[in-house]
Amino acid sequence: MSFLRMVSIVGFSSVLILGGCSSKKEAPNNDDPTIGYEDEDKGSSINTGDGYGFTDFDLSIKKDGKKIEVDYEDVKPSDAEYINEFQKVNKEGNDAIDSMHKMFMEVLLDSDTTKEEAIERILKWYGLDDYDEFELDVKYTDNKSLDIEEKK
C-alpha cells in the first residue's frame, strides 16, 4: 500500500508541475475590446456604460393638482432633485439619483426617441394614464435634445 501511495503522490505532483509550465510567452491583452457597441459614435450612453446617454434631464408632470419633478444634471449630481407627490417622495442629491436611476434604466431614452415614445414610456413608468401638463427637457451627449411642453 505504501508503494501505491508513493506512486500516486509522485504522479499527482508531476501533473501539477507540468500543468504549471505553459508554452504561452505572454499573458493575453484583455484591455483591447473585442466586442463593440454598434452606435458608439453617438457618444456615451447607458449602452456603452458611460452614463445615461444625456447630460441634463428635467421632467415635470402635473395631474389633478399633484406633480412629479425630476431634475438631473450630469455635471452636478449633488444638485439632483426628485419629487413625486403621488407617492409622497421628496429627495435630493444621491438619494434622488438612486430613485432616478431605476426610472432611467427602465425608460431608456436616447437621441432617437420620439416625443410620443418618451411620453408613453415615462407615463407607464409612473403608472399614469394621462396628464394635465407634461414638460420634458433632455440634452443628450451627442448634442441633440428632446423638448416637450404639452398641456391638456
pLDDT of 48 > 70? The answer is: no
Rounded to an integer, what distance in angstroms lies between the CA atom of residue 135 and that of residue 137? 7
At 81-121, the pLDDT tens digits run 999 999 999 999 989 999 999 999 999 999 999 999 999 99
DSSP letter string, 35-66: S--TTGGG-S-TTTTSSSSEEEEEEEEEETTE
Of 21-35, 45-59, 104-118, least confident by mean pLDDT is 21-35
pLDDT band with cut points at 50, 70 and 90 for residue 78: confident
At residue 58, the pLDDT reads 96
pLDDT of 30 > 80? The answer is: no
At residue 37, the pLDDT reads 41
Q: For the chain, give the mean pLDDT.
A: 80
- Joined together, the cell numbers standing for residue 75 give 455635471
Handedness of CA 107, 110, 114, 115 (dihedral sign): positive
At residue 17, the pLDDT reads 63
| Cβ atoms of 35 and 103 closer than 8 Å | no
Rounded to an integer, what distance in angstroms lies between the CA atom of residue 103 and that of residue 108? 8
